[in-house]
A and B are shown apart, each in its own frame.
Chain A
């Protein structure tokens, strides 16, 4: 197991090198420079720009710059964001909390709705509930996320029941701690629902499928033959086995954290990492882009690893070889 984890972490090194190298190369192909907007700003002196150019070796060709960047990164310096005037690490850490909050709450929502409905529609297969939920799942899987987000903003604007975008109200700093929590929760409702709906549909289908598989197993026959009541058979024996694939979804949420909610965050004006990365890409805030790419690859590998470990933990039959 430890060997397996180590192997996966080792595979991260060439991946990170390759991805950052590619991004660096692609970004060097553009004509404009990330210092172009900075040069236009009057309050930054030419000496400072020169100093910055020297620090990141801007006068040098891109491959030399790549190694300079790499050198800086290995010394713990991920660079500086031109837009937000702060270090990339600080910026990412600040934004990742909001995104994590959003993703976890929508995962929680998806679990809370998908598991009971999936179980019920497997137990009462071909019933009205099963058909209705399958149909709804079908529609919501096909629903473009950004259209759903637009509809949610539209809904909020028309009814006034929910805030339109953002994570906090204007008066947030003056609220008491409890009111602060309420304020954030209130702002979270719509983005959570929008992001959660796709997850609900997917997980419901997985849950239903794996529950149906588990029902056919021999141990269910044994349990029934022993004379156990039906609900004990279903919830103690079948559910425990059927729920395994869903537990690993936690890992996948971490894996897709940086790109999963990019569109939703942008439309709903949610101050998360997706919004940051989009604007960084558009304004060629190179170090933010590179930093977030590194971060995103790390999360991807770690998330998949967590998913695998969780799966092995809940189901000891699964052994990771090598």
Chain B
């Protein structure tokens, strides 16, 4: 117990580990508080304000105000600020109703403006939806899919790998052939094939779980093999013999004696494999096989940015989901690397000089 606490302390004291934790904490807070932070629903359209640039916000007579825009050329979506016209930016405004965490009903949003004015922190997309709101809602998909996916993978890998390492024999043989088979098939094809086969007639929630299941189905094999190897080497150690001599059941040995020894490996590999799930979902949604409109996901939002119009007319704000993915992935990678260095100094890639 004591040892674990020092891990956390050391992790937070490390500049990379600390900032990674801070970023992730912030991201998860954003995901949880998404309805409160987002001024509009992710599907809220305004066809008169398509490809609207980020609205200017400035300080005027003791409050923040949002500039009003005029659409000068609808064909190329050119908006110009109307000088001297603005509407006040209000805090804790009443907007659309939602349930925070799916439980607490509320209609209060952190900020907003009176209708029919609109505030676009990061501009609007091709149907006038607020990119900022969609970005905030999209974080829910990306951030949760990593955690859920990794949990399913770990449970599967731990169970199958642990059992086949502990018992060996025909079960081990069958499992190892199966993992070899799964690892031999290119992951992206399997992903595309599986997703393509299940068709597109699913609701958003169903698609979400389908993606998680497909990603974990592909991911567990490599994991199970490592667990099997670790269990094999642990099983030959004396403390396992001692437990067997004491007459403990195999399941108990597996859970009470072997699992704690695997904990550090599990932790590190979880942090390092989460980016794979996030990128997998983003790539699937990007290819149009993941989360469907009108729900928001970072990959789906980037798919919209593929339009030639976006490139030609410089709607740079539509590329912000990519930056969000980048930040999330970097944070998880950093966390994983720092954890690995802490848990197993043998793998240390870079030595940080300390005092």
Contact = CB atoms under 8 A, between A and B. Distances in A.
Contacts of B287: 263, 266, 278
A107 interface: no
A263 B311 CA distance: 19
A187 interface: no
Interface residues of B, number: 39
A19 interface: yes
Given A15-B181, A139-B330, A146 B199 contact: no
Contacts of A205: 349
A126 B351 CA distance: 9
A297 B190 CA distance: 12
B101 to A, nearest CB: 29
Contacts of A147: 302, 319, 322, 325-326
Interface in B302-322: 302, 305-306, 308, 310-312, 314, 316, 319, 322
Contact of A146 (B184, B302, B333): B302
Interface stretch (A60-68, A94-102, A148-156, A309-317): A148-156
B325 A293 contact: no
Interface residues of A, number: 46
B333 A19 contact: no
B185 A278 contact: no
B23 to A, nearest CB: 12
Given A144-B325, A144-B326, A146-B302, A157 B188 contact: no
A157 B312 contact: yes
Interface of A: 15, 18-19, 23, 26-27, 29-31, 126, 134, 138-139, 141-144, 146-147, 150-151, 153-154, 157-158, 164, 205, 209, 256, 258-259, 262-263, 266-267, 277-278, 281-282, 284, 289, 293, 296-297, 300-301
29 contacts: A19-B181, A26-B194, A30-B196, A30-B199, A126-B353, A138-B330, A138-B334, A139-B326, A144-B279, A146-B283, A146-B286, A147-B302, A150-B305, A150-B306, A150-B319, A150-B322, A154-B316, A164-B311, A205-B349, A263-B188, A263-B286, A263-B287, A266-B287, A267-B306, A281-B192, A281-B193, A293-B189, A296-B189, A301-B184
